Amino acid sequence: MLTLNLLPDQYKNEYALEQKRRLVAHISIIMCLIAILFNVLLGSVYAFVFTYEQSLRQSIETQTTTDTVKRLSAIEKNVRELNTSIGALATADAEIIPLAPVLERIAALVGQDAYLKSISMDANTKTVSIAGFAKTRAAVLALAEALQKSDFVAEGSVKNPIKNILKEENIDFTFTFTFTHETKTSQ
């Protein structure tokens, strides 16, 4: 088929320009419609999420304000406080040094020619200081050797001052040593 365009050149240019303007207008209208459609969809999603979030807040507020929840919260708080107290007691229990076995073992090391006047213990440094009286120098030396060989005294920690052996008889002695926590109560 043959088409003839008998319009002058100026009208042909105006006609082409008009067609292009209409194409741009149609595309702009379609783009606006698509944008409006997306805005409507996004608006509905926003409205849905907003109402869902509000309902969640209300349900959480309702759940946290009921008497049961308040009682359970109080119970949980008490449990936390009790756990803290139990933890402190467990720590204190682990740091407790059984004094009776240590005292018995020290007393068993003292011979018949000597006796103890005082025993002092420092739980932080695990240091024990003993003071006593011995009739002879041999009794003091025997006690020093027994302390060095005992398993509840840290190796090499016995401090035996020279004044313990200056006199031959009637000696006031002192010993300082570090004890190990792992004392064996059976002999």
Tell me the pLDDT tens digit for each residue of 137-155.
888 888 888 888 888 888 8
pTM above 0.75, yes or no: no
The pLDDT of residue 19 = 94
> What is the rounded CA–CA span in Å between residue 16 and residue 28?
18
The total number of residues shown for the chain amounts to 187
- Mean residue pLDDT of the chain comes to 84
Going from N- to C-terminal start, the domains of the chain cover: 10-92, 99-178
Q: What are the distances in angstroms from CA 19 to CA 1, 15, 25, 31, 168?
A: 22, 6, 10, 18, 132
Q: Is it the case that residue 187 has pLDDT exceeding 60? A: no
Residue 81 pLDDT more than 90? yes
99-178: CATH topology is Gyrase A; domain 2 (3.30.1360)
pLDDT for 5-42, tens place per residue?
777 888 888 989 999 999 999 999 999 999 999 999 99
pLDDT reported for residue 41: 96
pLDDT at residue number 42: 96
Residues 6+ apart with CB under 8 A from 103: 119
